[in-house]
Amino acid sequence: MEADLAIGPVTPTEDRFSVAEPLPHYFETTAGHAAGRLVSFRTNVSGHIGGFDTQIWLIIAALVVFLSCGLSLRGQPKNFTAFKGRLYDRIFEMLGNLVLEASPRTTMDPHIRIVIAFWWLMLIVLMNTFTGHMKASMTVQEELPRLDSVQDVVDHPDVTPVIIRGSTFEEVFQESTRRDHQLLLRRARQAQSVLPPRQIFTKSVFDDVLAGRKVIFLDTMLFHYWVGRFYERLPHGEFYLAREAVLYPAMCMWLNRNVDPQLARVIHIRTRWIAESGLAQRWKYLLVERSQRKSGGLSDSQGQPLSMASSLQLQDIAAVMQLLVAGLCVALITFLAELVVSSRCSPCSPGVPGR
């Protein structure tokens, strides 16, 4: 042991117990990787039109075809051409009911009217559910995926893991039999990102973490300390700690066993006083509060608390505008197609009397 006193989160091992003894710990902490992202939420565009899944739409389409065929056979059409004409009209009538929830034409046949009435009532219930889901999805944003485990980091080859050289992380990854730990350490060595602390705890490295290009393996206290020191306020994005921790070390001091026993006793008593007074816990809470206030950890990408309501923006209704543009494009294409068909099928040009 190079020093007589070591301070920080240390994971107990057999070698460390052989050269040092732990003093009363201040608090428990966790150690994993810290990551970041520039955008936390995005508007769920498919949520506006995905109120029903594919199976429901297929069932509705099958019902349209089945009811149209059944209603077209009513009255025994004379030939197949008459049946096709009726089927064409019934399909568009059913689709009109589906889109408009009504029909401008009502049939005089009471039997067909009863079938269409039940079909219309079913559509009212379904379409009200559909539009309600659409309205709700306009106010809900989908959270982008996070890197909450070592496997998540391994699954993203564009993310570089940064490991402190000589730390417990490096030792754990070297001795671990888990495949994700082995792949992670191999990638870090290939990228030459197993670095000493002096090269890791710089603002440029944390900027890369915020941009989502790197993740740093460190304990919670180090994360909160350096984020609070480097950033007064984030312009956009947020830092976050992975939900799956790699280690659960205790924040305490380790004393060399060769130290004078009387001095060791005094240090032990003073350390216990500090732990029992709650000063370490208070320092921890102040550090976490400062870090969260500056890192955007309690806010969304616009810096607004998630518990506050906000007015709808253009990006929130972008899907509705896209549907409107798509509908207008379909209507324009249909209109042009009708003009082309009308000009080709017309016996004579407009304004010219027929012969």
Count of C-beta atoms within a 10 Å radius of residue 276: 10
Q: Pick the closest to residue 222 from 271, 263, 168 (CA basis).
A: 168
Q: Which two tokens stand for residue 195?
A: 């670095």
Give pLDDT tens digits along the chain (355 positions): 567 777 666 666 677 777 777 777 776 778 889 998 888 776 666 666 666 777 888 888 898 888 888 888 877 777 888 888 888 888 888 888 777 766 656 677 778 888 888 888 888 888 788 777 777 766 666 778 889 999 999 999 999 999 998 888 888 898 888 999 999 999 999 999 999 989 999 999 999 998 889 999 988 888 888 888 888 777 678 888 888 888 877 777 778 888 888 888 888 888 888 777 777 777 777 777 776 666 555 443 344 444 444 555 666 666 667 777 888 898 899 889 888 888 887 665 555 554 4
pLDDT at 305: 43
pTM: 0.58
pLDDT at 315: 64
**d(Cα 318, Cα 196) in Å, to the nearest integer?**
47
Is the distance from CB of 234 to CB of 296 less than 8 angstroms?
yes
Is the distance from CB of 230 to CB of 203 less than 8 angstroms?
yes
**d(Cα 225, Cα 216) in Å, to the nearest integer?**
14
Place of tokens 């989160």: 9
Q: Which two tokens stand for residue 110?
A: 């009471």
Domains observed in the chain:
11-43+143-295 (3.40.190.10), 47-139 (no CATH)
- The H or E element that residue 311 is part of is none
Place of tokens 């790197």: 214
pLDDT at 161: 93
Q: Which two tokens stand for residue 111?
A: 């039997």
**d(Cα 138, Cα 293) in Å, to the nearest integer?**
29
From the number of C-beta atoms within 10 Å of its C-beta (0-12, 13-18, 19+), residue 240 rates as middle
Eight-state DSSP code of residue 89: H
**d(Cα 169, Cα 63) in Å, to the nearest integer?**
60
CA distances from 290 to 223, 280, 336 (A): 12, 15, 63
pLDDT at 228: 81
Give the type of residue at 324. L
